Amino acid sequence: MRFNDAHGGSCSFRSKAIVKKNGVNASTETPPVEFTSADTQTAIAADSWCQTEPIQIAIAKEPADENAVKEFLKSAGRLMLDEMKASMKSLAFDDFIVEDHQVEDNEATKLFTLAFDYFAHFKSPVEGKRDAQETLKLQCTGVSWNATGSVIAVSYGRFDHTGWCNYRSALCLWNIFHHDFNPSKPNLVLETSSGLMCVAHHPTMPAVVAAGTFNGEVIVWNTSLEENLVASSGIGDYFHREPISKLSWVYDATSRDYNIASVSGDGKVLIWQLKDKLGFPVEGYLLCTKAKTKTKGSLLLGGIALAFRPNDRTNKSFIVGTEAGAITRCFANKAAKISTKGEIKWSNNAQRILSMSPQPMDVRRHVETYAKEKKLRDVRVSAVFDSKPDMHALYPSALDFGFESHGGPIYDLVFSPFHGSLFLSCSSDGCIHLYHYLQKNPLITIQVGSNYLYALAWSKTRPLVFAAASEDGKMYIFDLNVNRLSPVTTLSLPETKQRSPGLYCVEFNPRQRNFIACGDGAGLAYIWKLNWRLSNLQPTEMAVLSEIADMRSNSTDTE
């Protein structure tokens, strides 16, 4: 088949003529705008002045006779010192009381009620989805004043649930002296992924605050930074796995800085360094009744309360209250001098943990074997914990001496800020014990009632005044200078329809001597103002405190 070219013809189309569009021009004009100008002129001012003639006053300076001054000080100085010493021993003003403060009617006045609307703050963004936060009411688990006494931190969580914590919480801060202070709106809300069980402000840095969580984490914030969260510890076998019940800032003479001490129901007391971002504890102690033993057969005591002796910068001793009602005095092991010279170099913090170990040579061999397997050039703290040594070989037992026990769990311990050997304890048995650090039995026992006592606080200005927070929603104020068996005043909170929510925490303000704060089970924190008598040093009060410290307990069991 063949194809040939062919011409099929053509066609054309004639375009339509373009129709010319008609256009119309139009214009408009606004009415004229009238302008009016006006001016003014200031009045003429007149200035006048005068000038004085300089007056020169000639002051003749005669040279002092140094010998005469020395003779005068020698003759009058001894007499002045004798008079000052005599006035210190004088009892002339011991019974003097200012009349204006003697007629006070109210022992204390409630100033503020701090509330945090966590339902609105943690509202679920998804409609129709019920969040656990909507049905869970948080409790006030801790209060802490900062170093200046102007900011109070309130931690929120719950004491009455078990298992893993699956609800969010927050640490709220109020500046009570700020111009925009609102008791119902915190100045700052620091959110957390689990409930908080305790809170403690840094003793010298007002913007730094630490909190312990239900899951066993230690969290530190610095509110002066744009990114508030500074550090957070981990969860593991060598860390905490149970709720942290107490935190304490302790001075470390080695680093010349404050570290954080934490205690938990897992039977461990751990020391954390803030400069290491709480990556690993630098010291650890077990509340173990059998030291240097394997895990099998050993008995760990669950810790609840923790207190370090005030003004003791070595921090080699502390006391712990346990779930079983025991109060034990603990001593940190003296660091052993261990040579780590060899093929593998040890870091300073790794050497510190090794020197505190009850079995340092076994731990060293175990860690260095792990380091060689992983081909590590040096041993850091992380390598010590990653090698997973025996916990009883790594952490020593700190138990040293047992005091007379309570009839239930010890919820709080607090040392006197005026006497380093006196401390208080409270328990679920409704008793408060005043102990001497070197005596087994208490010097004074106060039976408050049958309700649980959850917290204690010693006044920062009155050596014989302290407060106790009770399960019945009342705060009991004691003054040992007035009564050694009963409270001198009771601060009650408003009762609900069901019952009065219990008080879980209490703390005196370190700067405002008459301020005291507490928190209850309804999630509210209260700030009270004490009267002059309960917040100012009384005559002979220090002498009475020394007399109490010199008392002997009923039993002859002493150290």
> What is the tens place of the pLDDT at every residue in 179-202?
999 999 999 999 999 999 999 999
In this predicted structure, the answer to whether residue 25 has a pLDDT above a threshold of 80 is no
In this predicted structure, the answer to whether residue 447 has a pLDDT above a threshold of 90 is yes
Check residues 68 and 212 and name the one with the higher pLDDT. 212
Residue 69 — very low, low, confident or very high, per pLDDT cuts 50/70/90? confident
Note the pLDDT of residue 41: 65
Please state the separation of Cα 207 from the chain's center in Å: 11
Share of the chain above pLDDT 90, in %: 52
Note the pLDDT of residue 331: 81
Question: For the segment 493-517, what is each residue's pLDDT rounded down to a tens digit?
Answer: 766 555 568 999 999 999 999 999 9
**For residue 251, is it within any domain?**
yes
Q: Which residues contact 537 (CB under 8 A, 6 or more apart)?
A: 461, 462, 463
Residue 26 — very low, low, confident or very high, per pLDDT cuts 50/70/90? confident
- Which residues face 145 on adjacent strands? 152
- Which residues face 190 on adjacent strands? 171
Helix (H) or strand (E) holding 145: strand 139-145
d(CA 501, CA 457): 19
In this predicted structure, the answer to whether residue 462 has a pLDDT above a threshold of 90 is yes
How confident is the model over 24-36, as a mean pLDDT? 71
- Which residues face 271 on adjacent strands? 261, 283
Check residues 78 and 427 and name the one with the higher pLDDT. 427
**For residue 32, is it within any domain?**
no
Can you give the residue range of the structural domain that contains 498?
A: 107-333+396-549
**CATH number of the domain encompassing residue 438:** 2.130.10.10
The alpha-helical segments, DSSP class H, found in 90-127 are: 99-102, 118-121
d(CA 244, CA 155): 13
Closest by Cα among 243, 282, 279 to 263: 243
Note the pLDDT of residue 480: 94
Residue 518 — very low, low, confident or very high, per pLDDT cuts 50/70/90? very high
Cα four-point dihedral sign 559, 467, 187, 119: positive
In this predicted structure, the answer to whether residue 334 has a pLDDT above a threshold of 60 is yes
**For residue 3, is it within any domain?**
no
Of 60-64, 297-301, 348-352, 528-532, highest mean pLDDT: 528-532
Question: For the segment 234-290, what is each residue's pLDDT rounded down to a tens digit?
Answer: 998 899 999 999 999 999 887 889 999 999 999 999 999 998 899 999 999 999 876
Q: Where are the beta strands (DSSP E) in 116-228?
A: 139-145, 151-157, 169-175, 188-192, 196-201, 208-213, 218-222
Q: How many CB atoms lie within 10 A of CB 176?
A: 20
Q: Residues 95, 98, 103, 108: what is their CA dihedral angle, to the nearest 10 degrees?
A: -100
**For residue 7, is it within any domain?**
no
d(CA 209, CA 199): 7
| pTM above threshold 0.85 | no
Share of the chain above pLDDT 70, in %: 79
Estimate the crossing angle of helix 360-373 against helix 348-356, to 10 degrees: 140
Note the pLDDT of residue 556: 43
Closest by Cα among 159, 152, 157 to 114: 152
Please tell me what DSSP assigns to residue 15.
P
Of 122-126, 383-387, 462-466, highest mean pLDDT: 462-466
Check residues 336 and 157 and name the one with the higher pLDDT. 157
**For residue 60, is it within any domain?**
no
Note the pLDDT of residue 91: 65
Closest by Cα among 509, 436, 539, 537 to 146: 509
How confident is the model over 145-163, as a mean pLDDT? 91
**For residue 53, is it within any domain?**
no
Residue 10 — very low, low, confident or very high, per pLDDT cuts 50/70/90? low
Note the pLDDT of residue 483: 92
In this predicted structure, the answer to whether residue 441 has a pLDDT above a threshold of 50 is yes
d(CA 263, CA 245): 6
Check residues 549 and 163 and name the one with the higher pLDDT. 549
Averaged pLDDT score across all residues of the chain:
84
Are the beta carbons of 466 and 479 closer than 8 angstroms?
no
What CA–CA distances, in Å, run from 250 to 202, 283, 436?
10, 12, 21
In this predicted structure, the answer to whether residue 1 has a pLDDT above a threshold of 60 is no
Question: For the segment 122-137, what is each residue's pLDDT rounded down to a tens digit?
Answer: 775 444 444 555 556 8
Extract the tokens encoding 130. Answer: 């019920």
**For residue 317, is it within any domain?**
yes
d(CA 52, CA 50): 7
- The phi, psi pair for 93, rounded to 5°, reads -110, 15
Extract the tokens encoding 197. Answer: 């069980």
> For residue 419, is it left (φ>0), alpha (ψ between -120 and 50) or beta?
beta
**What does DSSP say about strands 345-346 and 378-379: parallel, antiparallel, or unpaired?**
parallel
Q: Worst-scoring range by mean pLDDT, 52-61, 87-96, 168-177, 199-208?
A: 52-61
Extract the tokens encoding 95. Answer: 């019974």
CB-neighbour burial class of residue 299 (10 A; exposed 0-12, middle 13-18, buried 19+): exposed
Check residues 502 and 49 and name the one with the higher pLDDT. 502
Closest by Cα among 199, 260, 241 to 504: 199
Number of structural domains the chain divides into? 1
Check residues 532 and 9 and name the one with the higher pLDDT. 532
**For residue 410, is it within any domain?**
yes
Question: For the segment 358-378, what is each residue's pLDDT rounded down to a tens digit?
Answer: 888 899 999 989 998 988 888
Extract the tokens encoding 85. Answer: 């010493």
Check residues 132 and 437 and name the one with the higher pLDDT. 437
Are the beta carbons of 144 and 171 closer than 8 angstroms?
no
Count, in order, helices (H) and strands (E) of the chain.
Answer: 10, 30
How confident is the model over 397-415, as a mean pLDDT? 92
d(CA 313, CA 328): 20
Check residues 70 and 197 and name the one with the higher pLDDT. 197
How confident is the model over 220-224, as a mean pLDDT? 96
In this predicted structure, the answer to whether residue 379 has a pLDDT above a threshold of 80 is yes
d(CA 478, CA 363): 50
